[in-house]
Amino acid sequence: MDLSAVAFYLFSILIIGSAAIMVFSKNIVHSAFALMFTLAGLAAFYALLYAGFVAVTQLLVYVGGILVLILFGVMLTTRGYFEKVRTRTVNLLPSTIFAGIIGMLLIAVFVTTKWAMNPMEDGEVTMTGLGELLLTDFMLPFQVAGVLLLLAIIGAVLMAARSHPPQQKAGSNPQNAGRSPSGEPPES
C-alpha cells in the first residue's frame, strides 16, 4: 500500500468521524468545529487528487469563510451557545428505511459500474496561471468581492449587537440607571 492510499484512508476516517460528531452532538459549537474538520478533510481529498486550486478554495471559502460566519452567527445570536440543544427523534423508522434504500442503491451502483482505471501521474502546478489572472486582469472584481464580504460581516455583527439590549450587572438597581456613582442624575 502506497502513501497516498494510507492518506486516503486516514482522511476518510477523519471525515466520517467528524461528520458523525457533527450530526450527533447536542452542543452546537462542537457541531460547528466538527464541521470544520469534515470540510478540511475534503480539502485534503482534493489535494490528493492534484486539484490544488479546489483544495485551497475549499479551505479559504468553506473553512475560513462560511464556517467562521456560522460560528459568529451562533455566538452572536444565541444567549447560551454552550447549552445543549434539545433534540427529539421524528419519523425514525421511515428515515432509516429511506437511508437504507439510498445506501443500497449507492453500493449497487459502485459494485456494478465498470470504472476506468487510469494511473495518476505526478501533479502539475495548475494554479500559477489562475493566480496571475486574479492578481492582474481580475484584480478589481476580486477586491470588490472581498470588500462586499467584509461589509456583510460587519453589518451582521452590528445587527446582532443592536438586537440584544445591554444586560445589567447583577445587583444593580434599574432606578439608578443613568446616575453618577454619587447618586445624582448626569448633567445635560
Q: What is the CATH number of the domain that holds 74?
A: 1.20.120.1200
Is residue 176 situated within a structural domain?
no
Structural domain includes residue 178: no
Average pLDDT over residues 136-152: 88
Assigned domain for 63 exists: yes
Share of the chain above pLDDT 90, in %: 25
| 81 and 155 both lie in a single domain | no
pLDDT band per the 50, 70, 90 thresholds, residue 145: confident
Top pLDDT among 22 and 187 is at 22
Q: Which domain holds residue 52?
A: 1-86
| pTM reported for the whole predicted model | 0.57
pLDDT of residue 32: 85
- Least reliable range by pLDDT among 13-17, 32-36, 53-57, 87-91: 87-91
Residues 1 and 70 in one domain: yes
Q: Indicate if 137 and 63 belong to the same structural domain.
A: no
**Given this model, what pLDDT does residue 166 score?**
57
Which cell numbers hold the place of 121? Answer: 501521474
Is residue 100 one of the residues assigned to a domain? no
- On whether residue 38 sits in a domain, the answer given is yes
Residue with cell 456494478: 112
In a domain, 11, yes or no: yes
Domain edge (last residue) among 56, 86, 116: 86
Residues 65 and 144 in one domain: no
Of the ranges 37-51, 105-119, 170-184, which one carries the lowest mean pLDDT score?
170-184
Which of 34, 64, 86 is the last residue in one of the domains? 86
> Does pLDDT of 55 surpass 60?
yes
Residue 122 has pLDDT above 70, yes or no: no
Structural domain contains residue 171: no
Specify the pLDDT at position 72. Answer: 76
- Please identify which residue in the block is written with the cell numbers 447560551: 80
Tally of domains in the chain: 2
Are residues 9 and 78 part of one domain? yes
Do 53 and 132 have their domain in common? no
Q: Are residues 73 and 147 in the same domain?
A: no
